[in-house]
Structure 1
Amino acid sequence: MTFKYLNKDFSAGFSVFLVALPLCLGIALASGAPLFSGLVSGVIGGLVVALLSGSEIAISGPAAGLVVIVFDAIHGLGDYSHFLTAVVLAGLLQWLLGWFKAGRLSGFVPSSVISGMLVAIGIVIVLKQIPHALGWDADYEGEFEFFQNDQRNTFSEIVQAVLHPTWGAGIISAVCLLLILWWDKKAEQGIKFFKTVPTALVVVVVGVVINQAFRWLAPAFYLGESNDHMVRMPSFHTLSDFKSALHFPSLDALTKPAVYLTAFTLAIIASVESLFGLEAADKLDKQRRISSPNQELKAQGIGNLLSGLLGGLPMTVVVVRTSLNVYSDSQTRLSAFIQGILLLLAMVIFPEILNHIPLASLAALLILVGYKLARIDIFRKMYLEGQDQFVPFIVTILGIILTDLLVGIALGWIVGIAYVIYTNNQSAMSVVRDKETVLIWFRKDISFLNKARLKEELAALQAGDTVFIDGARAHFIDHDIYTTLKEFKKDAPLRGIQVDFKGITRRKITKRKLDASIQKTLISK
């Protein structure tokens, strides 16, 4: 960890801290866990995982994508200490996945899906923060799913917010939004003061000042100090209060089979989310650094193990906070570490001060992050890259917006893989006709996926045709393909067709053959 970019990293870390604070509390509340558990997870994500992470910019902490699983697990196991035992075991399993290099599986996700994920998250951030900006704080900060527990969805929630606005919150978010745009413009002009002072700090201070001004000048707009509109930190007035908030895993839980099933589920889902988050972080990184997914799995495993031991929620790489970290000009992992320190201080020293921060001011900060993630020029760029990139990109976006993160990514992945198979199927074989002479040329390896097209081409041949089938370029010819060609050659005379094979044999590709072929190709060039 370097202090070379301390000024930028501190500014970014402070910005992430302000947003992470209500998110950690909101996710804990929605999970049916103690509020303190969300903060524990956030602190460990900053102080431990950030130092061990495979990424310089990724932010780890409790994730909205695990809320349903955590909620069901806590109630299913019947005891929070039993759930913590499952978190510890999940962390150990994650560490083993990293040790066995399972992180390489992240490389099988098409880039179009990762791009779609980032844009979708940006859109969801904006959609989910609009109600908070208008003072309709019916749902917890960090809530991400389309269908909600209150029987509403993302769009109907916005309608309710528009129909029932809290004017004080709306004024605060509007002023803060304009302030951020103006502040960032001045910083881009190179004015040192605007580049040095964190935008998030200014936004929070302005939000607090406006709300307190309402208290004296316009009581109808005053948001009060309620749990609905403000950041709400648990307070510890004595050491015994702090100790009572701590929870620890239970050894008795090791005798319950359900604990192991929960641990396995948490480990797999948290690992998948972390790997996707890591891919997204690398795509956002302005310095284009490449992170180690296996190292990240190990770091997440250690983080979850410690989180479970100290009473915290399971964690993942969180794209929302990572995006804010990047757009706040973070340079190194020091920003994540600073965020962890600030969360720890917030828990222990100044919770009462933070309870004066309106959620509306933080909503303005997040809306700008969402806009930057989902800029219109990204859609234009993906469209110009072709249908095989644009369609999985759009499917991923729609899937995430209308369901949740993992379902949307899965839909995009399926469509992306389908395009790969289709493209490969079309390019593996060329067919050229010159009057009654037909050349069928296998341009690369050919498998049963190409069987349907091959049979169509063979069926289209007419009496009097002479067909040359060239497989010399294919290192691998699938058994189904070979059998189909063998049967065709046998029946061709009955159809009045002459057939000539070149390089058509039943063969499997081996490393030795492939290396020899590559060497031969290089020598010929």
Structure 2
Amino acid sequence: MNAQYKSKSIFSNLAADLPSSIVVFLVALPLCLGVALASNAPLFSGIIAGVCGGIIVGIVSGSQLSVSGPAAGLTAIVASAILTLQSFEAFLVVVVLAGLIQLILGFAKLGIIGDYIPTSVIKGMLAAIGLILIINQMPQLLGDRSALPANDEESIVPAGNIFVNFFKAFAHITPGALAIGIICLVFHFIWEKIVVRKKGFIKLIPAPLLIVFLGIGLNVLFASTGLLPALSGGYLVSIPQAGSAKEFVSFFTSPDWSVIGNTQVWALALTVALVASLESLLSLEAVDDMDPFQRVSPANRELKAQGLGNIVSGLLGGIPVTSVIVRSSANVNAGAKTKVSAILHGLLLLSSVAFIPFLLNLIPKTALAAILIFTGYKLAKPALFKLYYQKGWDQFLPFIITIVAILATDLLKGVIIGIAVGLFFAFRSNFRKAVFVVTGNKKYLFRLRKDVSFLNKALIKQHLEKVPEGAQVIIDALRADYIDKDIVEVIEDFIIHAPLKNITVQLETSGFIDHGFSDKILANDNRDGHLRRTYTRVIISTRQKKESKATPEFA
């Protein structure tokens, strides 16, 4: 299928890509504003990121259907970084450096990094992001008066952390904002239930766009009827309006390069780069699965594209971009066929802030908060916790510990802690499965499976030492892919000294794999001839037969 599209003009599928780009634009516009809002960044920076994600990443990426832009998964990092640096212009340096790091990762062919992180940790990270979104957006949903910026201008960072702001907001509720937010949120859940059972055109109607229209309509209703005080000023989106092209260009913000020597800037850049890369690679894999033509997108090229997108976004005053599954899935469902759809959606975003900012400024922030809270719920819905609990402790604990660690520290530290816990359970599982011991009536079966490392040495020694005089022992190494030299040494010592306790030992190995047993052992030279060694080239069916016969005997 790839060849089919390479041979065509880039605009040959415009009949499918243009309508799709409009759908994606309508989905992306409120999300760009909402993610910027959740990141405590200027709302205009979210649009810039959406434009760069659509145009720059769209052109360079090897994916035909993936759509990039500001992502909910980075909101906690961005908000924390801006708070730490106390300057949005300083944070823009972080975005540019993160892009450079992503470029390096791409050229170093590290697009496989996502494959080495346990799924339970990834799901835990996404669930933690969802909880952070919910907690962080509740003050906006409630219309927290204490969080309003001075003089109705865009705020940089609210005081306190998200937990303090969450509880404080309940003491400063604005009735109009709360009413609009609750109605929008309930409508979002109801719409989701309706659409999931439907087919056809209704699935193409973006819920975020309906929420925006509903929020604007409710606020107009309040203003005209006096039912509740209408929202204005800091309660509404604030996008700068330009009277000329020159003035519009002046709205873009340049990085403050004076902080380039700050070690915190580089640490934050590394964090943004790693998390953004991971989220992009996961999204890319999901989009490829949804692609009706089953095209495979090159992961390393995607890292380069994301890096270039972040460099341009940071230079122009935008927040970080990643490949985003919500916009990408909307693109697929709308029938897009090539990357032209993503590029056109970026151009539409640019046009919206250039020509209709007055319409965007009618959007209540509480409506955007409802969209983000719903997104957070989808990432951290109770069914996900139930699913991982049912999978067992080796999956549930890394999942839940990752969530708690992220909420207690930050995203990168939490993920590292989650990976450490996941590796512990992986080692534990391998440790248990590597050595299988069955005993009965002075007959012992030691079956070595998979990778038998030095970590299993104590367990094997302990069981071998318990073998009584006159016993029969089978040491089955047919299923072992690797046996550590320490383990080989323990087994050889046992075989050599077995005649002293009148123990008969049968060592079963495969001719396909040399596990490093000494020539003395392989030659059956254990002085008293008590070793009966089986050395044969076996195939899988033979191994299965041996297992079925041996196990009942020692059960």
TM superposition score normalised by structure 1: 0.78
Letter in 2 for 1:67: V
**Structure 2 CA distance for partners of 1:449 and 1:371, relative to 1, 3 Å:** same
Q: In structure 1, which of residues 15, 38, 45 is the aligned counterpart of residue 27 of structure 2?
A: 15
Letter in 2 for 1:168: G
Contact 1:428 1:445 in 2 (8 A): yes
**Structure 2 CA distance for partners of 1:79 and 1:317, relative to 1, 3 Å:** closer
Q: In structure 2, which of residues 268, 272, 281 is the aligned counterpart of residue 278 of structure 1?
A: 281
**Structure 2 CA distance for partners of 1:270 and 1:137, relative to 1, 3 Å:** farther
Q: Which residue of 2 aligns with 1:429?
A: 435
Deviation sequence 1:415-464 (CA, Å, 0-9, x none) = 22222222222222221213112121212331113223212222332344
Contact 2:147 2:158 in 1 (8 A): no
The alpha carbon displacement at 1:169 in A equals 0.9
Based on CA coordinates, which of the two structures has the bigger radius of gyration? 2
Distance 1:210 1:158 in 2: 25
Q: Which residue of 2 aligns with 1:507?
A: 516
Distance 2:160 2:470 in 1: 69
Q: Which residue of 2 aligns with 1:471?
A: 477
Are residues 1:200 and 2:205 paired? Answer: no
**Structure 2 CA distance for partners of 1:265 and 1:357, relative to 1, 3 Å:** closer
Are residues 1:323 and 2:326 paired? Answer: yes
Q: Aligned with 2:480: secondary structure?
A: coil
Q: Which 10-residue stretch deviates more, 393-402 or 94-103?
A: 393-402
Cα RMSD after superposing both structures: 4.1
Deviation sequence 1:233-272 (CA, Å, 0-9, x none) = 133334453444445579x97xx98379955862564134
Deviation sequence 1:333-364 (CA, Å, 0-9, x none) = 56644542343224322223212210111222
Q: Which residue of 2 aligns with 1:258?
A: 261
Question: Map of 1:81-96 to 2, 5 A cutoff?
Answer: 88=96, 90-96=98-104
Distance 1:230 1:149 in 2: 16
Q: Aligned with 2:237: secondary structure?
A: coil
Q: In structure 2, which of residues 69, 72, 75 is the aligned counterpart of residue 60 of structure 1?
A: 69
Q: Aligned with 2:261: secondary structure?
A: helix
Distance 1:520 1:315 in 2: 55
Q: In structure 2, which of residues 365, 368, 372 is the aligned counterpart of residue 366 of structure 1?
A: 372
Distance 1:89 1:408 in 2: 22
Contact 1:94 1:267 in 2 (8 A): no
**Structure 2 CA distance for partners of 1:135 and 1:196, relative to 1, 3 Å:** same
**Structure 2 CA distance for partners of 1:391 and 1:166, relative to 1, 3 Å:** same
Letter in 2 for 1:150: A
Letter in 2 for 1:419: F
The alpha carbon displacement at 1:20 in A equals 0.8
Q: Aligned with 1:390: secondary structure?
A: helix
Distance 2:341 2:125 in 1: 24
Are residues 1:311 and 2:316 paired? Answer: yes
The alpha carbon displacement at 1:299 in A equals 0.7
Distance 1:488 1:523 in 2: 30
Aligned pair count? 493
Letter in 1 for 2:394: D
Question: Map of 1:288-303 to 2, 5 A cutoff?
Answer: 291-303=297-309
Deviation sequence 1:157-185 (CA, Å, 0-9, x none) = 33333343211011112222344345455
Question: Map of 1:104-503 to 2, 5 A cutoff?
Answer: 104-136=112-144, 150-154=159-163, 156-184=164-192, 187=195, 190=198, 194-195=202-203, 197-218=205-226, 221-224=229-232, 226-227=233-234, 229-247=235-253, 258=261, 262=265, 266-267=269-270, 269-280=272-283, 282-283=285-286, 287=290, 291-308=297-314, 310-313=315-318, 315-317=320-322, 322-323=325-326, 326=329, 329=333, 332=336, 336-492=342-498, 497-503=503-509
Letter in 2 for 1:24: A
The alpha carbon displacement at 1:469 in A equals 2.0
Distance 1:464 1:191 in 2: 73
Q: Which residue of 2 aligns with 1:97?
A: 105
Letter in 2 for 1:45: G
Q: Which residue of 1 aligns with 2:54?
A: 46
Contact 1:89 1:260 in 2 (8 A): no
Q: Aligned with 1:469: secondary structure?
A: strand
Distance 1:219 1:412 in 2: 49
Overall identity of the aligned pairs, in % = 33
Distance 2:299 2:225 in 1: 54
Distance 2:241 2:107 in 1: 40
Q: Aligned with 2:290: secondary structure?
A: coil
The alpha carbon displacement at 1:219 in A equals 7.5
The alpha carbon displacement at 1:107 in A equals 0.6
- Larger relative CO (CA 8 A, sep 6+): 1 or 2? 1
**Structure 2 CA distance for partners of 1:330 and 1:364, relative to 1, 3 Å:** farther
**Structure 2 CA distance for partners of 1:322 and 1:296, relative to 1, 3 Å:** same
Distance 2:34 2:270 in 1: 25
The alpha carbon displacement at 1:276 in A equals 3.3
Letter in 2 for 1:276: E
The alpha carbon displacement at 1:41 in A equals 3.0
TM superposition score normalised by structure 2: 0.74
Distance 1:174 1:41 in 2: 28
Contact 2:145 2:174 in 1 (8 A): no
**Structure 2 CA distance for partners of 1:195 and 1:464, relative to 1, 3 Å:** closer
The alpha carbon displacement at 1:102 in A equals 0.5
- Structure 2 gap segments, 5+ residues each: 1-9, 150-156, 518-536, 544-555
Q: Which residue of 1 aligns with 2:531?
A: none
The alpha carbon displacement at 1:28 in A equals 6.4
